[in-house]
Chain A
């Protein structure tokens, strides 16, 4: 009896990533009996800190935070549960013999821009204000279930849109439709500025900066806020795993049960309705509601017995595009790299990010390599130095450095990722060394995560960090399939991962929205 009861829950959440944990927290908060089942030994999914090399703690996959919804931090009391975010200040774009360096201090940045272009320095203010307005306009959408086209959230949006000043209407339309390079080029003529700004539009998506649709991805990255400041990035103390740790602690305190080393093999259904899961160990757990934070292909393709979905539904799932295009390279360093373009002794740079994005053409050609089925010979790299901000993640005097790399296409035209992994790592290392001579000699250890590794380790299909590309047809009510929202064709089976609106990054919004939808459905049913 005792055992039987232990294995009966109101809801099962598959996956202990930050969205799964968020969803479970909200369900527990509403008094539901919830269990979270995590495949790995550690929680966090792609928001995870691991000591890959003794003394060096890597935020293995996602490495900065800004999109975590403030209401989640508040409602789940995450600060009390240990969440502490340190600001990341500035972005340096090194060039062969010059640099562009923007920092949070607006006056300093404007002075730096004036060095490049007076016009750009003037436009920067207007641009920053406009983007903050846009983030404010879009923000309510993040917390809403997307619904079907024509349904009420859309009418609300149309009304709010009509109320915007025309200049903001224009910008909103442009953000939904333009390429990020075209978008930013309206304001700026400085090439490294155009490139570095538009690079935010390619993250996690198989698009170049000149591909329409990338401006939306740019906006997606502007929606973040740290302490109410839009477009500011932060570094969680202890790495991104600390976020998952805090949410996990909240979930536990609210009464959720969390099990690690509990890989789900199959979702059980009866007569088109979810009834529970079977673990790889053979253990069966029953619940009338199963919520998966795994991506839509894993959930509906792999965890459901084939034939469960109708052909049309299966086709819709198969049409959802992943196309992982990014890699991650983590370095353990004996010291911080010295960028030759900066005056000797410059140390402020390590408090921010360094972006290898000298020109739009540079990134576009990096994209062309991916189209040709190979990793970029000269990749876009966004690097950070977590240990310079949070010394707890590396031994004294030593450092960790996180490099987000694009492009690395999941599908290679020739060879396999297992044979090309180190070649990619070498290319990234050599690219950095071009701007930081002697970089190689600092490297104590290197961890290269190809899209294949991201898929294997984190269960993200095709290694897409957003659980599916942020393409226009895969946004809002189109995500993951038209009209689905957080539901699936299987009654009682829900999605709460980044495959659902509003998509990827450490925001927690899919998890929170899904929990609310599940609770509403419960209410309706009772």
Chain B
């Protein structure tokens, strides 16, 4: 098809990560002719499923998709495009070293019963989180206000009521350290840690650092998970989200080209006019949307002359030191977590190795010095428990022994960590909670921050494209003045996790970037 309109694209989306695809689908639905260019041979970016052994599939990086915006799901009719979500009743199972466990259920009152003394406090905190989540969800679902505009006060006033009425609470809670927040709520150290872990997961921050409460609240906002958060799996793995989105893009008239690495954004003066591929091929379009991280977008894709020395300096200071690694396992059986006491149902959600606040402190302390945590923070899922089709081994080799797959997010791991050393530490850490787990391992796949940078292009190997911290947040994510999706070149937009509201499989940066594109095109779009 493209051959017939080689110069006829309205917009090019660089990168087929889930946000790039979301953006392309919205633009396609609005009538734009969209071309998505993906360097790799598959779509999805970090939302992807891969074969660890023949017929055995694992969530390569992201493993849950519960933060996916309901609005995006509806607008793009992702269910019609084949996406099926699975959600267990158990959200978090956090085993302790002594055989006890903290369990958070979808049903807060069920959780409260299990928590004993902290039960009432849990219910109160759950209510608070839902109330703040409504306000925060509102902020996250919209483009940030324009802080540079003379009408700042008006912009703030334009926020809808939930955000406005909770602004005093948000101002108090967002900048707090998550350790202090959970300390205000709960007496039990184990419960504090089980909740606080989400304030540092996928970041390089420690739980005593200001702003981590905001990370937690943002993670819990915009869905109905309350304090337990969501534990949603896509049937077929996170790659199924990408497949459904790709199908939505195609249905909306867009085209996706794989194996097409973009080297530069081309321009006429201060106006983008297309891209140049690494192959040398040039493709024209007046709109270019980058799904890449902001450092790569600004420093690699854009002509340094456009940025100038000052913006170049600022872009170089965007912090993206990834300390999150991924270890995926193919197992011969379900591991026996001591604290689960044989109840496999408990393993269906997110299994958290964060038994104490001290554990979180030490795991994330390593990040400050570029060390590997000797007892890392782990978020473990076993998607094959709910989605057995992930394990359909072919052949009679190693794969035939596999019964289950296990996906582990581990931190803190330095950029250049030795993969074997990291894998061994993760296995050894799990061994303390699930004795014998090491003997069940048929295959192990280790993905270090360096791999995340190399394979997925995320600068610094940061899974969120830019550190999730107060200074790279909201209207100043990725930089103050560039927080509203529009990059310094006219016609160039940012649609990835480096834009508000940030990382995770939400689709929101993609949707909001598309809205910015359409807004700038004014009424022309509709004709």
Contact = CB atoms under 8 A, between A and B. Distances in A.
Interface string A209-249: 01111000000000000000000000000000000000000
A149 interface: yes
A178 B319 CA distance: 11
B148 interface: yes
B156 A149 contact: no
A483 B168 contact: yes
B147 A161 contact: yes
Contacts of B208: 206-207, 211, 371
A149 B171 CA distance: 8
Given A161-B147, A162-B147, A177-B471, A212 B152 contact: no
B168 A210 contact: no
Interface in B139-183: 147-150, 152-153, 156, 167-168, 171-173, 175-177, 180
Interface in A362-378: 364, 368, 371
A479 to B, nearest CB: 11
A319 B213 CA distance: 15
Given A211-B209, A478-B171, A166 B148 contact: yes
Nearest to B476: A173
B172 A159 contact: no
Given A149-B167, A207-B210, A482-B168, A170 B481 contact: yes
A148 interface: yes
A392 interface: no
A472 interface: yes
Interface string A112-144: 000000000000000000000000000000000
B126 interface: no
B153 A177 contact: no
B470 A159 contact: no
A150 B147 CA distance: 15
Interface string A157-173: 01101110011011001
B445 to A, nearest CB: 31
A438 to B, nearest CB: 33
A471 interface: yes
B156 A167 contact: no
Interface string B289-312: 000000000000000000000100
A250 to B, nearest CB: 37
B365 interface: yes
B52 to A, nearest CB: 36
Nearest to A208: B368
A461 B313 CA distance: 43
B507 interface: no
B492 to A, nearest CB: 18
Interface string B200-227: 0000011011110000000000000000
A176 B171 CA distance: 13
Given A177-B469, A177-B471, A368-B365, A162 B149 contact: yes
Nearest to A123: B313
B502 to A, nearest CB: 14
B51 interface: no
B225 to A, nearest CB: 24
Interface string B325-350: 00000000000000000000000000
A161 B152 contact: yes
A321 interface: yes
Given A178-B470, A211-B208, A371-B365, 18 more contacts: A161-B152, A162-B147, A166-B481, A170-B314, A170-B479, A173-B471, A173-B480, A176-B470, A177-B469, A177-B471, A182-B319, A208-B368, A211-B210, A212-B210, A212-B470, A213-B470, A321-B180, A471-B176
5 contacts: A169-B480, A170-B481, A173-B147, A178-B470, A182-B471
Interface of B: 147-150, 152-153, 156, 167-168, 171-173, 175-177, 180, 184, 205-206, 208-211, 310, 313-314, 317, 319, 361, 365, 368-369, 469-471, 473, 476, 479-481
